[in-house]
Amino acid sequence: MTKPSATTRTPRPRGPSLGGRAFTRRGFLRIAVAGAAALLLAAPAGLAAAPPGAPARVLVIGFDGMDPELLGRYRAEGIMPHFDSLIARGGLRRLGTSVPPQSPVAWANFITGQNPGGHGIFDFIHRDPATLIPYLSTSEAKPPTRFFKLGSWKFPRDAASVKLLRHGAAFWEILADAGVDATIFKIPSNFPPVECEARSLSGMGTPDILGTYGVFTYVTDDPPQDIDLAGGRVVAVNLDRGRFRAEIPGPPNVYREGEPETIVSVSGVIDPVHSAAAFDIAGEKVVLRVGEWSDWITLRFPLLSWLRHTPLAAGKAEVTGICRLYLMETRPSLRLYITPIQLDPRAPAMPISTPPLYCRELAAATGLFYTQGLPEDTKALEAGVLGDDDYIAQAKLIFDEHMAQFRHELRRFQALDRGFLFFYFNTPDQSSHMFWRAIDGSSPSHEGAARYAGRIREIYANCDRALGEAVAAVDDGNTLIVVMSDHGFAPYNRDFHANTWLWQNGYLKLRPGVKPAEVGFLAGVDWAATQAYALGINGLYVNLLGREKRGAVPPTAREALLEELVTKLQAVTDPATGAPAIKHAYRADRIYSGPYAEQAPDIILGYHRGYRGSDESALGELPAEIFDDNLLKWSGDHCMAADEVPGILAANRPIVLDDPELLDLAPTLLELFGLRAPPEMKGRNAFVAKGER
């Protein structure tokens, strides 16, 4: 991995291997190459007269996954006083989400004011119809293609590239072009951050130093039988009189033939009597007791260190990352968790902010921080490396880190005469995913979780306190405060295996001799006889002749097939419960518009509460049965029918729309600053009645 330069800013993240275990099932959704930035420059919006009473400043707080029903429950319990006060002075509405209600889709709707046909994000997972290979939807990374060689070393003649796959102008580009001071903190679907004059830090989609969605390291002298964890690496060590030494893999050295992994060493001395240990990791000394987290540790991975003082190695001698250690156990065995290695915000190996100095300034002001898009390690919890209490401890550290950054940005925002601040909190979403089982007695994974029934409630109370700090800092009568979420939440108790349903109903065929259990990434499918297939959490595609690599359905037969599939899918019932599973089988050609609508899945499956598309089917697998219990700790979700999981919109001023949607917010924000939204933004102003504009 190269360090960014002023000209390329685009080091090569590590590429995926679709044949490897790391990309099976949930692993593909959480561990994958992210890309970095290409951007779409939009034409400047024309100036318009500001509406009467327009605020000088606008603060938008994004609480990912905040659910209107839970918010109502916790308000009734009296733990959301700052929400109550805000709503009393302004209003609260349910906020219509995206179809499907997946986070990258929903936030792209918010960012661009367009539906997926306009911004081109339809799912976490897309497919290339020419190859049928799945890939992550939000970004793309490409390595250099030409090199010159010097012995066993190689040097690129062209730059690596990283590309943001979201299309459409972000609303803050338009604000910045008009001279509005704008800060965008960790909004999803914006890695790499679109280049403009706004201050921005990338969020969901930002990789770790390996170019993945986060690979943790687990050091132990009692390794599990399956040491190939999806989302993590097990480093097995032998203790010799309480001492050990291990190697922690880093990014590949792209300058060496074969691109071997770079490494840093970690050694330790274990003191089981006092439940403590002393570590030396990359030359930094750390002493921890069981249950303690270290501060951030800087890791330096050598690339061209032998050429350090030559022009060839300028800026490329090493790449730095940061990590934290968490000592879980010293007896009867050593159990040490090391976070995914984060991009170092003081010298990021990939572009994570605009301007580039912003991430450095933030680190100097508030301390080093998680740069990975979703830092709470749900993978380590699901793998059993972290326990529930360990995960909660990490989540609290992350929330405290965000609060320090929030206070820093509020101080700056408060001093502005005119400006915009968006600040994002991920904790409601991640905690609802992992602890819904604790509040839902019908969850298949509820057993043993009841003691955590207050965890989501605690998160909502923390969000209320964050809102209270914002109100105290900036609510001066001339600042509009908006609180929103991209979607709500629902139980996820049962899996629907879409490809198994297609196979059992004759729409998907396998080659002779291929058994369903052998199919992965749709390998083994008889494409000449297949009419439809599923990829992604909510997407279903017609195997269309002339579009798919081995299409079989003539375009003249597409309409009848789509109508047949929609009718049958919406009639599917779960034999275990007798309940319908699919509330809406949306036809993409009827709900999407825009230049990228033809790239969408043909049908978007919108599930009833309690049901969701399975990870197996999302990656082209065929489990034995159509339905299964979801036994994961990942027990709450939102990838369902859009009307099952609306978000929330609250403000300290009246909301005139009774049925606002995410699409309404970008044009609303532009109009609040006296800017006309570009014609591709079709939304309405949520705060100003049409006759008052």
Mean pLDDT by 10 residues, the chain (693 residues): 33 31 35 30 39 83 98 98 98 98 97 97 90 81 73 70 86 96 97 94 93 92 80 92 92 82 94 96 95 97 67 66 97 96 94 96 98 95 96 98 98 96 97 98 95 98 98 93 98 98 98 95 96 97 96 98 98 97 98 96 98 95 96 97 98 96 98 95 86 57
Residue type, 638: H
The SS3 call for residue 321 is: strand
Which pLDDT value is given to residue 227?
65
Q: Pairing mode, if any, of strands 181-185 and 419-425?
A: parallel
Question: CA-CA distance, 623 to 103, in Å (whole number)?
Answer: 26
Q: Scanning the structure block, which residue is given the tokens 């399975």?
A: 614
Residues 394 and 431: beta-carbon distance below 8 Å? no
Residues 190 and 197: beta-carbon distance below 8 Å? no
Residue type, 176: A
3-state secondary structure 84-111: HHHHHHCEEEEEECCCCCCHHHHHHHHH
The DSSP bridge partners found for residue 256 are 153
Residue ranges, comma separated, of all CATH 3.40.720.10 domains in the chain are: 21-211+343-489+645-692
Question: CA-CA distance, 408 to 120, in Å (whole number)?
Answer: 34
Structure-block tokens of residue 189: 């679907």
Which pLDDT value is given to residue 455?
98
The CATH number assigned to the domain with range 21-211+343-489+645-692 reads 3.40.720.10
C-alpha triplet 111, 116, 119: angle, nearest 5°? 55
Residues 301 and 320: beta-carbon distance below 8 Å? yes
Backbone angles phi, psi at 399, to 5 degrees: -65, -45
Q: Kindly report the number of other CB atoms within 10 A of residue 481's CB atom.
A: 22
Q: Which residues contact 244 (CB under 8 A, 6 or more apart)?
A: 219, 221, 237, 238, 267, 268, 270, 334
Question: CA-CA distance, 662 to 220, in Å (whole number)?
Answer: 46
pLDDT tens profile 503-547:
999 999 999 999 999 999 999 999 999 999 999 999 999 999 999
Bin 631: left if φ > 0, else alpha if -120 < ψ < 50, else beta: alpha
Quote the crossing angle between the two packed helices 388-414 and 427-439, to the nearest 10°: 150
Residues 676 and 47: beta-carbon distance below 8 Å? yes
Q: Which residues contact 423 (CB under 8 A, 6 or more apart)?
A: 59, 60, 61, 62, 185, 186, 406, 409
Backbone angles phi, psi at 468, to 5 degrees: -60, -40
Quote the crossing angle between the two packed helices 455-474 and 388-414, to the nearest 10°: 10
b/e per residue 441-459 (b: at least 16 CB within 10 A): eebbbbeebeebeebbbbb
pTM: 0.90
Closest CA to 571 of 620, 608, 546, 541: 608
Residues 63 and 443: beta-carbon distance below 8 Å? no
**Dihedral (CA of 69, 73, 76, 81) sign:** negative
